[in-house]
Structure 1
C-alpha cells in the first residue's frame, strides 16, 4: 500500500458482468475480488443485474441474513427490488443483484434529468442502451438507499462504475449522494471498438477522428454520450491500458487519471503432477478429436497451437491467424506437424452426430469425415467467416498438409457435447497460443496462456502486449511471449511473423521448450493482482480527494 493515500471505508463496484459471465470484465472483477475482500472485509459490495428470478444462478449464493435490516427497508420503504448474497468465487464478496424492470416507466424523466444535469444524449437510444441505463439508474438508487440507511458523511465511500452500461449510476450518485466519490472505468471505448469493427483504420488516423462525429456516422450517439459525459464528470476516470488511453484522449476528449491494468489470480492454475496429468489428458483428447475428424494419426511430437476468445473476426485477429496457418502449411522450415485449434463461439447449432459416434468408439480412423474442419454444425454454415476463409485459402486438412485446422465453434464450458472439457483444462495441452489482435484494450487470453506456462504470440495493439514490451528481459518467444508489431496496414507482415515464430518454435529441443515454458510462467507472475491492485488504490485516493473538493465548492 502506498503511503499517504486516502483509503475508502466502503467500496461499491457495479458491472453488467457481476455474477453474469459474459466476457473479459467478468474475469477482471472475479479475480480481483479476493485481493480487495482481504483488504476491505465485507465493506466491499459488487452490484450486478438480476436476470435470475426463479432460476438457479450457480455464481450467486443468496443469503437472508446479510444486510437483512437494510434489505427490508430498501424493499418496503424505497420500493427497490434487490437480492443480497455472496459471489461464488474466491473471496466470496457480498453481492447485490438488482431488478430494474420497474424503472422503464420512468425512462423519459430519467433521460431528461440526465440531459439537463450532465448533457447525456439518450435521444438516439436503441438496442441494449435502455436496458443498461435502467440497470445503472436502479444501481444508483440501491447504493443511495444503503448509504442513507447504514452510513454517514464521515464514512469514506467509493463507487466504481465499469463500462458505459453503469455510467448513469455514477452520475445519479453525484447528484443524489454527492459525498460518495465516483470512479468510472472504460474497458474499451464504444466508439473505438465500433471504428475498428467497421473496418476503418483506427490507429493511423486516431488523431484526426472526432469522437462525436464518428458516433453520429456509426449510429452510436447515445452510448458514446453516456461514456464521454461520465468520463468528464466523475471524480476519477480510468481505463485499462495505454493503448485505450490514447483512444480516450482522442475520442472522449479526456485522458484517464489512472491506468488500471488487468491483473489476475493464478489459483486456478494446477501445479506439479496435477498439471502434468491435465496436460497429458488434454493432448490425448486433441489428438483423438483430430483422428476422428481428419482420419489421420498424430503423435505427441505434433505441435498444438490455438487461438480463442470472442468471435470478432478482424478485431481479435482470427483472419491473420488463418492466413498465418496457410503460409505455415507451405513453410519449408517447419519441422513438425501442426494441429491448429480455433476455439471461438459461433452461431452453433448441434454437435456432429457422426463425430460423436467416432469419439465413442475405440478404433483408430484412416478416412476423414465430410467437412473435416469443424466439430459442431452451425446455423450459418454457408456464411461463417472462419469457414469462408478456410475455403478461400483452400485449407482442407488433406493428408499431405503439415498444418491441420480444427474449428471448435462453441463455448468450452464442459458441456458442448463433443469435447466436454472446460477451457482451462484444454489450454494446458497446447504448445503455443496465438492472439494477433487488432483491437484489444487489454488481452486476458494471452495472459491466461502464459499463466498456464504456454508461450504466446500477441501484438503491440493489445494492452497486454504493450505491457510485456515494457518488461525487462523480454526479447521474443524465447522469453515466453512474442509481441509482434501491428498497425492498420501490416496484416501480411504479422501473418509472416506468426509463421516464422511457429517454425522457429518447431525447431526447439525439448530442453529449450522447457525453459521457454518456465519463462512464460514468470511473465504471468508479474501480472498478479497483488502487484496491479495498487492502481485501484490510487484511483480511490484521487476520487476521494476530488469528491471532497466538489463538496467544498458546493457542486452537486
Structure 2
C-alpha cells in the first residue's frame, strides 16, 4: 500500500517478550519480519526485549556497547534504567534494546492501581507469569518514553508496537504518558479463545454465544483477559494474524481488528538446487537411521516419512486426530508401503535414550511416561512398531536444537527430509508449522481452523487433496472422525504417487509459500502503521484525557 509522508513512520519501536528470547512462534514472526522492516526503515526500527538471559547464553543478541551510549548512560543515571544495546543475530540485524525490569516490582501495587483507575485493568487475581510480563511491559513503555524525550522526537512520526497481552501495559503506559506516539497492539491468539479450546470446550460452533468477560472468570484468567481487552480497545491500531482469530477478537475483546497482519516467512536460509537435494538426502538418511535403531529392524529406504511438530497441545495442535488417522491408515489392507510417522513434539524429558530396543515409541526418556497422552494413546490403539506393521510411530519429545543427543541437528534439517507433513489443528491462530513445511517444498495437510489454512484456501488451495502442494481439510467442533479419515485417505493416496508426481507436489508447495513470504506480507504492517498514525492524528485533535507528567 502506498503511503504519503504524513502517514509514514520515522521511528518504530516493537516490544515483545520474545525479542532475542526464543520461546515460541512469536519469535519466528518477529525475527523473520525484521529483515523486511530493516529494508524499509533502516536502523529506525528498535526491537525491545527482556534482559533475562546471561550474555553467554544468548546467541541471538550481539551487544554493541557504544550504540546509543549517551542516552543509555543518561537513562541509567537519571531514571535507573538498565538497558543493553546491540543487534539481533538474524537477517537484517536490527537494533535491539534489552532491558532489566526487576526494579519495577517495587512499584507493582501502585502500577496495578494506576492501570485500574486509568483503564479498568483488573489485576486483582493475577497469577503465574502475569506479574513478570506486566513489569516488563511497563518498563518497555518507560524506555520508549525515555528515548523519545532524550532525542526530542516530538516532531517525528513515532510508532510503538506491542505484541500479545504480555505487553499490554506498555501500550497503555504510552497512551497515557506519551500520547503523541501512535500505538499498535497485536494479539497472536486471544487468551480466552486458546483457553476454551485447551479445556476441551467447543469453541467454533458456539463462538457467538460466548461472553469474553464471563468465560475469563470461568477459566480463572481474569487478569490476562482484562489487560488484553483494554489494550486492544485503547490503541490507535489493533491487529491480529488471521481472519479466524479476528472473529475471536471481535467476540471476546469487543473490537474488530483494524488490520489482519498474516505471518510471513523469510526463505533466505533454505537451500536451493543441488544443495537442497544434498541436505534432503542427508536428512532422510538421518531419519531412517534413527528409525532402524529404535525399531530394531530393517526399514525400507523408500518408506513414506510423515511428520507432525509444534507445542505439546494435544487437542489444539491436532495430535489426537493425527494418531487416529495413522490408526485408520494402518488398518487399510491395500496399504503396501511402509509409513514412518515422526511426532516431533517437545515434552518433559530426562535425556536421550540408550536402551533403544526397550523404547518402543520414544527417542528420549520421558520424565512421566505413565501419564504421557501420546504414549498412552499409541498403546491404547495397539501400535506395536513391529516389522509386520506397515505404519510405525516414533515420538521425538526433545527440542530439536542440534544438541538433543539423538539427531543432533535442528528441526529444519529434519523437516526437509520428510515426504509429507500433517498439522490438523483445532486451535491455530496462524500456523507456522504448515507454512514452514511448504517453504521447504514439503507438501502439507492442515485445516480450516488454522490461520495459514484459511489463507491457503483463499490463495492457492484450489485442487482436491494434495495435488497443489497443500490440503486444507474442513474442520469444526463435530467432524473429528471425518478429519482423521480424510487424512488417512490422503496419506494412502500419497504412497501410490511416483517420484515425478511427488516432485510436482513439492514444486506446487514451494510456489504457494512464495506468495506467503514477508516480501508480500510486510505491506499489511505498513497499513497498520498508516492507520495508527491516522487515528492518532484524529485522537490528538480532540481534547486530551491524559496529560504527560
Task: Give the TM bin, normalised by the shorter chain.
Answer: over 0.9
CA change 1:250–1:444 in 2 (3 A) is same
Q: Is the 8 A contact 1:37 1:44 kept in 2?
A: yes
CA change 1:473–1:405 in 2 (3 A) is closer
Tell me which residue corresponds to 1:547.
536
| 1:442 and 2:443 matched | no
Tell me which residue corresponds to 2:444.
456
Tell me which residue corresponds to 1:144.
145
- Corresponding residue SS for 1:448: helix
Q: How many residues align?
A: 543
Tell me which residue corresponds to 2:481.
492
Alpha-carbon deviation of 1:98?
A: 0.9
Q: Is the 8 A contact 1:335 1:503 kept in 2?
A: no
Deviations 1:133-174 (A, max 9, x none): 000000000000000001332100001000000010010011
| 1:526 and 2:518 matched | no
Query: 2:477 and 2:4 mapped to 1: Cα distance?
Result: 43
Deviations 1:351-390 (A, max 9, x none): 11123xxxxxxxxxxxxx1232110111101000100110
Q: Compute the TM-score of the two structures, normalised by the length of structure 1.
A: 0.96
Query: 2:341 and 2:462 mapped to 1: Cα distance?
Result: 26
Query: 2:119 and 2:189 mapped to 1: Cα distance?
Result: 21
Query: 1:55 and 1:298 mapped to 2: Cα distance?
Result: 42
| 1:308 and 2:309 matched | yes
Q: 2:501 aligns with which of 512, 521, 540?
A: 512
Q: Is the 8 A contact 1:334 1:507 kept in 2?
A: no
Tell me which residue corresponds to 1:23.
24
Deviations 1:227-273 (A, max 9, x none): 00000010000000000000001111111000000001101211111
Query: 2:366 and 2:543 mapped to 1: Cα distance?
Result: 58
| 1:414 and 2:414 matched | no
Query: 1:350 and 1:481 mapped to 2: Cα distance?
Result: 35
- Corresponding residue SS for 1:353: coil
Tell me which residue corresponds to 1:383.
371
CA change 1:286–1:138 in 2 (3 A) is same
Alpha-carbon deviation of 1:332?
A: 2.9
Query: 2:456 and 2:353 mapped to 1: Cα distance?
Result: 40
Query: 2:291 and 2:367 mapped to 1: Cα distance?
Result: 23
Deviations 1:20-48 (A, max 9, x none): 00111000000010010111111100000
Query: 2:454 and 2:66 mapped to 1: Cα distance?
Result: 46
Alpha-carbon deviation of 1:321?
A: 0.5
Q: Compute the TM-score of the two structures, normalised by the length of structure 2.
A: 0.98
Tell me which residue corresponds to 1:286.
287
| 1:274 and 2:275 matched | yes
Query: 2:13 and 2:502 mapped to 1: Cα distance?
Result: 44
- Corresponding residue SS for 2:467: helix
Deviations 1:108-151 (A, max 9, x none): 10011101111111111000000000000000000000000013
Query: 1:520 and 1:227 mapped to 2: Cα distance?
Result: 36
Alignment of 1:47-58 (within 5 A): 47-53=48-54, 55-58=56-59
Query: 1:325 and 1:540 mapped to 2: Cα distance?
Result: 45
- Corresponding residue SS for 1:477: coil
**Runs (5+) with no aligned partner, structure 1:** 356-368
Tell me which residue corresponds to 1:184.
185
**Runs (5+) with no aligned partner, structure 2:** none
Tell me which residue corresponds to 1:350.
351
Q: Is the 8 A contact 1:287 1:297 kept in 2?
A: no
Query: 1:120 and 1:290 mapped to 2: Cα distance?
Result: 52
Q: Is the 8 A contact 2:185 2:238 kept in 1?
A: yes
Alpha-carbon deviation of 1:199?
A: 0.2
Alignment of 1:211-360 (within 5 A): 211-355=212-356
